[in-house]
Chains A and B, each alone.
Chain A
Amino acid sequence: MSEEMWINMGPQHPMTHGLWNLRVRVDGETMTAAEPIVGYLHRGWEKMVENRTYPQIIPLADRLCYGSSFTWSHLYCLAAERVFNIEVPERAQYIRTACIEMQRISSHLMWLAAVGTDLGSYTILLYGMRERELFLDLMVELCGARMTYNYVRIGGVRNDTPPDFERNVTRVLDTFEPRIRDLEALCDECETFRMRTIDIGKINAADAMNLGLTGPSMRASGIDLDLRRHDPYEIYDELDFDVCTHTDGDCYARYRVRMDEMRESVKIIRQCLEKMPKGPTRVKVPRCPPKGTAVARVEDPRGESLMYMVSDGTDKPYRLKVRSPNYVNLSASPAMLLGNKISDVPAIMGVLDMCIGETDR
């Protein structure tokens, strides 16, 4: 005889990174239904930016997803540049690409730290945050802020790199690269970590495609799709890097993909520094763009993020639609949760890399 019951997790729960509510129906310990409820961080971003001029939106775009704020402000500027019809100087493109990859590393490190605490290993948090500080220091040196940078501008970047920046980045990368192995060892050689991630939250390639998963969660199911490769923006088509995929589709595969991506990011940053040309970093931009629409999409650390912008010729956008990768990934989470035990919820949801700021907008 079994009795089913509903369990609420959140909005205040150590499993939820941010505010959201997960309702699961359990039969014994097995989940038979799951229903994520979002909206606790909704602040009407898309409506709000209709009352802001184009440059005023950049800091707000930073705060869309605080884990990878650089990527979001960059995505906004990319969309705006397509509306304004302007070309970004080459040096600015290189600086942006290097920063995006640094942001990807720090976002993945934050994710690793969060997953570590979710799975009961505080050590991973301590080590992950230690490495993250290295990259945040570089960003402080570059633009003065640790998390919300406000550094990308429509038509370039705010300022050129400070003196000795390239040397400092190389030093940090030299320190960080061997430490990835240490971080992996903390997880791979931990029996508990492997038991709690291998074969948990499985999703196959067809389901991942149908549910609209993107980013590392999708590549872990064996689908080779990376917008940096398939729809290159900035200077990604000139760089040499691999798209990391895995075939298992479980939590462990998602973890592996992210760890491999950090290695690739280190490679990309090194190439950017090597090829970086001299020149201006910003072009002048008119106040009002011509009438028109534009779409820009980039590979966020969490998946494919997209912005659709409509301009009516004034200095404020008429409409700005955001496609956040996490909103779609979260709606795919019931497919991963069903059939697993209730104690696997932190592992599955933690490995998805939740960021509710961009989900609720």
Chain B
Amino acid sequence: MDIDLSYQAMTMTAKQFGEMTQNFIRETAVATGAKKAIDKLTAPIWSWGQRNAIYPLHFGIACCALEMAAASAPRWDAERLGLIYRSSPRQSDVLLLNGWISAKMRPTLRRLYEQMPAPKWVVAMGECSVSGGPWYDAYNVIQGVDTFIPVDIYIPGCPPRPDAMIDGFLKLNRKITAENRGRFLDD
């Protein structure tokens, strides 16, 4: 931010003034090291909140979607681990990919990933999204989603049992704990 512009504050709109103030506070916090200190203190709280309320996107693609449904059914009851499916990408933290990705779906999927708000993770469930799986020579199947979006957790299996899916999400849980990132003044 340009501090020299502050004398023009009277001619700014309210929005511009708000942005300027926010930028000033953020940059001061980063420059003085206050952000680092506060991040270090508050990171456990952030990661505690994030890992215990993992909201995957309700996005059933193929076979593994039935196992995803079975995992939230009474026998496995994934909701006790904080897995609640949200129908909008804007409300979800985890993109759970449970099926093969065709060339027609690829741009849409990329867009879905970009629509999700910042702390986000991608879980590739099943062989198809991990590496193409049984469709290794199909002309229309993307050979693994990690060719175009970053993947955090791979759950192998064709399809993996609901136990395996829950195990994958527990690994994601541990990963969020290990990341231990503070998000003070982050967007």
Contacts and interface: CB of A to CB of B under 8 A. Distances in A.
A176 to B, nearest CB: 15
Residue among B87, B104, B135, B159 with most chain A CB within 10 A: B104
Contacts of B108: 11-12, 40
Contacts of A129: 69-70, 73-75
A63 B105 contact: no
A36 to B, nearest CB: 14
A147 B159 contact: yes
A80 to B, nearest CB: 18
Contacts of A19: 61, 105
Contacts of B104: 39-40, 42
Given A11-B105, A44-B139, A18 B70 contact: no
Interface in B108-144: 108, 112, 134-135, 137-141
B161 interface: yes
A48 B59 CA distance: 26
A42 B60 contact: no
A193 B139 CA distance: 43
Contact of B61 (A14, A18, A44, A110): A18
Interface residues of B, number: 34
Contacts of A360: 102
B93 interface: no
Contacts of B135: 43, 48
Contacts of B182: none
Contacts of B59: 12
A12 B141 CA distance: 18
Interface string A160-177: 000000000000000000
Contact of B89 (A11, A12, A17, A18): A12
Nearest to B159: A147
Contact of B60 (A17, A60, A125, A147): A17
A133 B73 contact: yes
Contacts of A59: 134
Given A41-B100, A44-B138, A51-B137, A113 B62 contact: no
Given A147-B66, A147-B67, A41 B138 contact: no
Given A12-B108, A133-B70, A148 B62 contact: no
Nearest to A59: B134
A291 interface: no
A130 interface: yes
B134 A63 contact: yes
Contact of B62 (A41, A45, A110, A146): A41
Contact of A12 (B57, B74, B99): B57
B63 interface: yes
A110 B100 CA distance: 21
Residue among A43, A126, A357 with most chain B CB within 10 A: A43
Residue among B59, B62, B87, B141 with most chain A CB within 10 A: B62
Closest 6 CB pairs of A and B: A129-B73, A66-B63, A43-B138, A14-B87, A43-B141, A40-B105
Given A42-B104, A63-B134, A66-B62, 7 more contacts: A17-B65, A41-B61, A44-B140, A67-B66, A113-B73, A132-B73, A147-B67
Interface of A: 11-14, 17-19, 39-45, 47-48, 51, 59-60, 63, 66-67, 110, 113-114, 125-126, 129-130, 132-133, 146-148, 356-357, 360
15 contacts: A12-B89, A12-B108, A40-B108, A41-B62, A43-B138, A43-B140, A48-B137, A59-B134, A66-B159, A113-B73, A129-B74, A130-B75, A146-B159, A147-B67, A356-B62
Interface of B: 57-63, 65-67, 69-70, 73-75, 87, 89, 99-100, 102, 104-105, 108, 112, 134-135, 137-141, 158-159, 161
